[in-house]
């Protein structure tokens, strides 16, 4: 069977990090003595070289679907074998130089398969999605709470407010042309007064009040009045600052 041998050999010696290297004894195919070879494990491929300094591997064992077993050998201590399911397949008999090396190699080789790597990747992918989903939903929950509080404040003082900017859904930008009178009473003890950050019952501080935007005329009006008629522009103008502040506040609140 043909193989892209040159490229396979290149993979063995290229600078991608090997998973394990070391000397092992390998039982020969024709000459059944054990020969000392330099082994390099990369991914699911076990390459072996005549010498540590050799430029090209003498051979390679594809480890996919293999099992690694300890085995008894008349001549060698610390012997193990690489076996495959297929009846026709060769059994590779190996021996390490000491107990620790043998255990380390057996462990490394038995987990060298592509399938094993794929399994771990899928599991981490799933975990990351979970973590990201949790972050998103807790972000949404705290935004919802924040908006609810603002809306409560808003309801109380609507009759007194002078609004010169648009009020967006759920987000009332209190600076920049929107002035609120103090709400007479606010449930759960939060007072959203300007410049004042009071503590809520559950210990979470409401976001700091954004600084007043200064315009040329020194007035507090928004530079873009509702009369402009371009709501997307307005959304951008308000939205950007709110978004930035939102992120800043959330980052200070989230404890990982």
The string over 236-248, giving b where at least 16 C-beta atoms fall within 10 Å of a residue's C-beta and e elsewhere, is ebbeebbeebbee
Q: Rounded to the nearest whole angstrom, what is the least distance from the CB of residue 18 to another protein in the complex?
A: 5
Q: Rounded to the nearest whole angstrom, what is the least distance from the CB of residue 8 to another protein in the complex?
A: 5
* Residue 116 near residue 43 (C-beta atoms within 8 A): no
- Residues near another protein (CB under 8 A) are 1-4, 6-8, 10-21, 38, 40, 42-45, 47, 49, 51-55, 62, 64, 108, 111-115, 117-118, 120-121, 123-125, 127-128, 131-132, 135, 256
- CA dist., res. 221 & res. 219, Å (int): 5
Q: Rounded to the nearest whole angstrom, what is the least distance from the CB of residue 202 to another protein in the complex?
A: 23
Between residues 133 and 199, which has the closer beta carbon with respect to another protein? 133
Which of 177, 171, 250, 166 shows the shortest CA–CA distance to 217? 177
Between residues 52 and 141, which has the closer beta carbon with respect to another protein? 52
Q: Rounded to the nearest whole angstrom, what is the least distance from the CB of residue 148 to another protein in the complex?
A: 27
Q: Rounded to the nearest whole angstrom, what is the least distance from the CB of residue 143 to another protein in the complex?
A: 19
User: What pairing do the DSSP bridges indicate for beta strands 66-70 and 79-84?
Assistant: antiparallel
Residues in the chain: 256
Between residues 59 and 170, which has the closer beta carbon with respect to another protein? 59
DSSP string, 93-125: EEE-SSHHHHHHHHHHHHT--HHHHHHHHHHHH
* Residue 93 near residue 71 (C-beta atoms within 8 A): yes
DSSP run (H or E) holding 211: none
Between residues 127 and 225, which has the closer beta carbon with respect to another protein? 127
Between residues 20 and 246, which has the closer beta carbon with respect to another protein? 20
Q: What are phi and psi of 195, to 5 degrees?
A: 75, 5
Between residues 108 and 224, which has the closer beta carbon with respect to another protein? 108
Which of 123, 143, 101 shows the shortest CA–CA distance to 243? 143
Q: Rounded to the nearest whole angstrom, what is the least distance from the CB of residue 20 to another protein in the complex?
A: 6
């Amino acid at each position: 069977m043909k193989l892209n041998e040159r490229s396979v050999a290149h993979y063995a010696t290229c600078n991608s990090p090997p998973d394990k290297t070391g000397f092992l004894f390998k039982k020969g195919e024709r000459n059944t003595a054990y020969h000392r070879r330099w082994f390099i494990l990369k991914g699911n491929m076990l390459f072996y070289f005549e010498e540590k300094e050799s430029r090209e591997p003498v051979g390679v064992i594809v480890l996919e679907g293999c099992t690694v077993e300890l085995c008894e050998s008349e001549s060698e201590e610390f012997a193990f074998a690489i076996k495959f399911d297929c009846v026709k397949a060769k059994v590779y008999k190996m021996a390490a130089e000491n107990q620790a090396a043998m255990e380390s190699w057996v462990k490394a080789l038995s987990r060298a398969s592509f399938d094993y790597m794929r399994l771990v990747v899928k599991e981490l992918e799933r975990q990351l999605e979970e973590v990201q989903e949790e972050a998103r939903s807790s972000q949404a929950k705290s935004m919802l709470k924040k908006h609810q509080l603002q809306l409560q404040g808003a309801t109380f003082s609507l009759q007194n407010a002078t609004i010169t900017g648009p009020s967006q859904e759920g987000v009332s930008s209190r600076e920049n042309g929107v002035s609120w009178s103090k709400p007479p009473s606010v449930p759960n003890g939060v007072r959203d007064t300007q410049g004042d950050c009071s503590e809520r019952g559950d210990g979470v501080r409401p976001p700091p009040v954004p600084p007043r935007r200064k315009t040329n005329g020194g007035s507090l009006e928004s530079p873009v009045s509702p009369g402009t008629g371009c709501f997307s522009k307005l959304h951008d103008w308000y939205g950007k600052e709110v978004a930035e502040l939102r992120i800043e506040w959330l980052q200070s609140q989230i404890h990982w």
